C-alpha cells in the first residue's frame, strides 16, 4: 500500500510540473506578441519541462521501488506467519502436574500420565493361623506410566503400562503357595471414536465400567482396595483393567429432567492381556458380555449429587480347557481387601461350569462434604455334572445339574473434615463415567502457607458370602455337594490425607471375621484378623 501511494504521488507530481510549465509557456505567448529575437528562437524546447523519456525513466524507477517494497512486505509476512505457526504448533501446559502437548488448531493433544501406589501392611492374627498365616510386608501396588489424548477431534486414545502388581509383586511363580494372577504389563491400550453426539465406541485393551466402585478411579478410592464383591465380579465377569474387548457407550445430561445424567455402557470382552489366569477363569478364549446403566437422579447443580445404577454380566463361555484342567470352571475368590499378601481367605475353588450370570444394584450420593454409598450383588453359575459336582448319575458330564449362587453387599460413608466435596464425573470415555471422584484440596499442604490439605474420615462394612448349601453332600447320587467358599465380613476404618491434588497418604484398619468350613461340617474353620495398611500415592 505504501509503494502504491508513492507511485501515485510521483506521477501526480510529474503531471503537475508538466502542466505548470505548459501554462507558463501559454501565458508568455499571450503577453509577448512581438516577434521573438534570434536568441529566443535558439532557446531549446526542453527548457519548457522534462521530456517524455525523462518521465518514462522516473516512472520505471518508481515501479522498481514499489516492487522492492512489496517484496520486503511479503518477506516480513512470511517470517511472521512462520513464527506464529511454530508457536501454535507446540503448546505445553501443566494442568495440576499433568504435562500436556496441544496443537495450535486443537485437533491433537497428548498428556503424560503417571500413578504410583506403595502399600505397607501388617497382619495381626491368632496363633493358630487357621486357615492361613498371612505375611506382613510391602508392595508396589500400581506403577502406571502412559499417554492419553485426542486425534482429529473425533478420536481419543490411551496407552498405559503397569510396573506394579498384586501379591507382593508375585505374578504366579511356580512353587509359591497361593500365587496370584499377576498384573499384566499392558494395562490399557484403547482407541475411542467420539464423533457421534452422546456416543463413544472403544476397542483394544479396556477397563469396562461395571458396578459402583468399579466406576471410581483407583486414584480416587476411599479405601486401599475396592470391596471384595466388586473385585470378584470384575475378574469373573470380564471387567477390571487389561481386558481385550470392545465397548459402546451413550451418555446424556438433562435427558429426562433438569440435572439428571444417564450413562449406558455395554461391552464384550475376552481374557486379560498377557495372562490367561484370573479370579474366575483359568483358560484362554474367554467370552463375557457386561453392561451398566446409571442415572444421576438429583443434583443441586454444584456440590451435591445422588445416583443410582444397575450392573449385569453374562458369561457364555468360561474358557477352553487348559493348564491341566479337566473341565471349564468358575472360581470366585479374593483377598481380605488388601494385596500385600496374596492369600485368598474366601475361595469356592474350581467349580465345573461353562456359563453364569450376575446382577448388582447400587446407590450413592453426597451432600456437600458427606458421602454415602452401597451396593448388593449376586452371582449364579450353571454347574455341570462330573468334575467337582459330587454326583455321577447325570446323563452327561456337561449337563447343567444345578445353579449355585453367591452374594455380597457393602455400605460405606465418608466425611471430609476440611469441607471439600467429592466431584461427580458426569461424562467420560473410560470406566469413570457416572462415578464419584476424590476431593481436591482447597488449600494444599504447605508449612510456609500454614495449610494442611484435605482430611477425610471413612468407614465401610462389607459381607461377602461364598457359601452355598455348605453342609450338603452327595447322597446316593441325588444331591450335589455344597460349596464351602467362606463368609468374610470386614469393618474398615480409614483416615485419608490429601496433601495436594497429586499426593495422598492413606491409613486403613480392617477388622476381618472369617467363617469357613468343609462340605460336610459347617463353619469348622474360622479366623479373626486385624490388618493395618498404609498407602503413599502420587497421581496426576
Q: Per-residue confidence of the chain (540 residues) as pLDDT tens digits?
A: 455 455 455 555 545 545 545 444 444 444 444 444 444 444 444 456 778 888 888 888 888 888 888 888 888 888 777 666 666 667 888 888 899 999 888 889 999 999 999 999 999 987 665 667 888 999 999 999 999 999 998 999 999 999 988 754 444 443 344 444 568 899 999 999 999 999 999 999 999 999 999 999 999 999 999 999 999 999 999 998 889 999 999 999 999 999 999 999 999 999 888 765 544 555 567 899 999 999 999 999 889 999 999 999 999 988 766 555 556 888 999 999 999 998 899 999 888 888 999 999 999 999 999 999 999 999 999 988 765 445 545 556 678 888 999 999 999 999 999 999 999 988 777 767 678 999 999 999 998 878 999 999 999 999 999 999 866 655 444 456 788 899 999 999 999 999 999 999 999 999 999 988 765 565 667 788 999 999 999 999
Same domain, 349 and 477: yes
Q: For residue 346, what is the enclosing H or E element?
A: strand 346-347
Same domain, 48 and 115: no
For residue 3, give every residue at least 6 positions away whose Cβ sits within 8 Å of its Cβ, in sequence order, or none: 65, 66, 67, 69, 70
Nearest to 272 by CA among 354, 187, 333: 187
Same domain, 21 and 149: no
3-state secondary structure of 445: coil
CB 243 within 8 Å of CB 205: yes
Q: Please work out, in degrees rounded to the nearest 5, the angle formed at the alpha carbon of residue 283 by the alpha carbons of 132 and 486.
A: 30
Give the phi and the psi of residue 255 in degrees, each rounded to 5: -75, -45
Alpha-carbon distance 423 to 27, whole Å?
94
Same domain, 56 and 136: no
Nearest to 171 by CA among 241, 244, 245, 276: 276
Same domain, 36 and 144: no
Same domain, 214 and 334: yes
Same domain, 83 and 94: no
Alpha-carbon distance 139 to 535, whole Å?
10
3-state secondary structure of 6: helix
* Three-class DSSP labels, 369-417: CEEEEEEEEEEEEEEECCCCCCCCCCCCCCCEEECCEEEEEEEEEEEEC
DSSP category for residue 219: T
pLDDT given at position 386: 62
Same domain, 77 and 121: no
Q: Which domain-ending residue is among 71, 87, 103?
A: 87
3-state secondary structure of 74: helix
Same domain, 59 and 124: no
What region, left, alpha or beta, does residue 120 occupy, with left being phi > 0 and alpha being psi -120 to 50 degrees? beta
Alpha-carbon distance 441 to 444, whole Å?
6
Alpha-carbon distance 150 to 173, whole Å?
39
Same domain, 209 and 162: yes
Cell of 510: 480392617
Alpha-carbon distance 440 to 456, whole Å?
11
pLDDT given at position 434: 75
CB 489 within 8 Å of CB 461: yes
Q: Which domain-ending residue is among 87, 102, 129?
A: 87
Handedness of CA 467, 469, 473, 478 (dihedral sign): negative
pLDDT given at position 169: 44
Give the phi and the psi of residue 242 in degrees, each rounded to 5: 65, 30
Q: Please work out, in degrees rounded to the nearest 5, the angle formed at the alpha carbon of residue 214 by the alpha carbons of 209 and 382.
A: 80
CB 223 within 8 Å of CB 337: yes
Q: Which domain-ending residue is among 49, 66, 87?
A: 87
CB 535 within 8 Å of CB 140: no
pLDDT given at position 58: 84
Query: Which domain CATH number covers 123?
Result: 2.40.160.10
Alpha-carbon distance 460 to 458, whole Å?
7
Alpha-carbon distance 523 to 516, whole Å?
5
CB 339 within 8 Å of CB 166: yes
Q: Report H helices in 90-192.
A: none
For residue 520, give every residue at least 6 positions away whose Cβ sits within 8 Å of its Cβ, in sequence order, or none: 471, 473
CB 504 within 8 Å of CB 476: no
Alpha-carbon distance 341 to 326, whole Å?
29
Same domain, 115 and 69: no
DSSP category for residue 426: -
CA 241, distance to chain mean position in Å, is 11
CB 203 within 8 Å of CB 246: yes
The number of domains in the chain is 2
**Structural domain that includes position 63:** 2-87
Give the phi and the psi of residue 140 in degrees, each rounded to 5: -85, 90
Same domain, 362 and 301: yes
Amino acid at each position: 500500500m505504501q509503494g502504491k501511494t508513492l507511485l501515485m504521488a510521483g506521477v501526480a507530481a510529474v503531471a503537475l510540473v508538466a502542466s505548470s510549465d505548459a501554462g507558463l509557456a501559454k501565458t508568455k505567448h499571450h503577453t509577448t506578441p512581438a516577434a521573438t529575437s534570434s536568441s529566443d528562437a535558439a532557446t531549446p524546447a526542453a527548457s519548457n519541462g522534462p521530456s517524455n523519456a525523462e518521465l518514462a525513466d522516473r516512472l520505471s524507477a518508481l515501479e522498481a521501488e514499489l516492487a522492492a517494497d512489496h517484496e520486503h512486505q511479503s518477506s516480513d509476512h512470511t517470517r511472521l506467519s512462520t513464527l506464529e505457526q511454530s508457536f501454535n504448533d507446540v503448546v505445553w501446559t501443566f494442568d495440576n502436574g499433568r504435562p500436556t502437548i496441544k496443537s495450535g488448531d486443537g485437533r491433537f493433544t497428548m498428556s503424560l500420565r503417571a500413578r504410583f501406589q506403595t502399600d505397607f501392611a501388617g497382619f495381626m492374627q491368632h496363633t493358630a493361623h487357621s486357615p492361613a498365616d498371612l505375611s506382613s510386608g510391602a508392595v508396589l501396588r500400581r506403577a502406571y506410566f502412559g499417554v492419553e489424548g485426542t486425534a482429529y477431534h473425533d478420536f481419543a486414545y490411551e496407552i498405559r503400562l503397569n510396573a506394579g502388581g498384586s501379591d507382593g509383586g508375585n505374578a504366579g511363580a511356580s512353587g509359591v503357595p497361593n500365587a496370584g494372577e499377576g498384573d499384566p504389563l499392558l494395562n490399557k491400550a484403547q482407541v475411542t471414536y467420539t464423533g457421534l453426539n452422546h456416543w463413544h465406541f472403544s476397542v483394544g485393551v479396556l477397563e469396562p465400567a461395571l458396578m459402583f466402585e468399579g466406576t471410581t478411579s483407583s486414584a480416587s478410592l476411599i479405601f486401599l482396595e475396592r470391596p471384595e464383591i466388586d473385585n470378584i465380579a470384575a475378574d469373573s465377569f470380564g471387567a477390571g483393567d487389561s481386558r481385550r474387548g470392545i465397548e459402546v457407550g451413550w451418555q446424556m445430561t438433562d435427558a429426562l429432567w433438569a440435572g439428571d445424567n444417564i450413562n449406558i455402557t455395554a461391552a464384550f470382552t475376552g481374557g486379560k492381556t498377557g495372562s490367561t489366569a484370573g479370579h474366575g477363569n483359568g483358560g484362554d478364549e474367554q467370552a463375557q458380555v457386561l453392561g451398566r446403566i446409571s442415572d444421576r437422579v438429583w443434583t443441586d447443580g454444584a456440590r451435591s449429587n445422588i445416583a443410582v445404577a444397575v450392573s449385569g454380566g453374562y458369561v457364555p463361555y468360561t474358557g477352553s480347557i487348559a493348564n491341566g484342567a479337566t473341565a471349564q470352571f468358575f472360581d470366585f475368590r479374593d483377598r481380605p481387601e488388601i494385596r500385600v499378601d496374596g492369600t485368598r481367605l474366601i475361595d469356592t475353588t474350581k467349580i465345573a461350569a461353562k456359563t453364569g450370570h450376575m446382577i448388582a444394584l447400587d446407590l450413592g450420593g453426597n451432600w456437600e462434604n458427606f458421602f454415602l454409598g452401597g451396593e448388593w450383588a449376586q452371582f449364579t453359575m450353571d454347574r455341570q455334572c462330573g468334575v467337582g459336582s459330587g454326583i455321577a448319575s447325570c446323563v452327561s458330564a456337561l449337563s447343567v445339574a444345578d445353579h449355585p449362587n453367591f452374594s455380597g453387599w457393602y455400605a460405606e460413608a465418608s466425611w471430609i473434615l476440611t469441607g471439600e466435596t467429592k466431584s461427580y464425573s458426569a461424562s467420560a470415555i473410560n470406566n469413570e463415567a457416572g462415578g464419584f471422584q476424590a476431593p481436591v484440596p482447597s488449600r494444599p499442604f504447605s508449612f510456609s502457607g500454614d495449610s494442611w490439605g484435605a482430611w477425610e474420615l471413612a468407614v465401610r462394612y462389607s459381607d461377602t458370602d461364598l457359601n452355598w448349601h455348605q453342609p450338603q453332600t452327595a447322597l446316593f447320587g441325588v444331591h450335589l455337594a455344597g460349596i464351602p467358599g467362606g463368609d468374610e465380613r470386614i469393618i474398615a476404618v480409614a483416615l485419608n490425607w490429601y496433601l495436594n491434588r497429586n499426593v495422598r497418604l492413606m491409613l486403613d484398619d480392617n477388622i476381618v471375621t472369617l467363617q469357613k468350613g468343609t462340605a460336610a461340617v459347617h463353619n469348622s474353620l474360622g479366623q479373626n484378623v486385624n490388618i493395618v495398611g498404609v498407602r503413599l500415592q502420587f497421581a496426576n
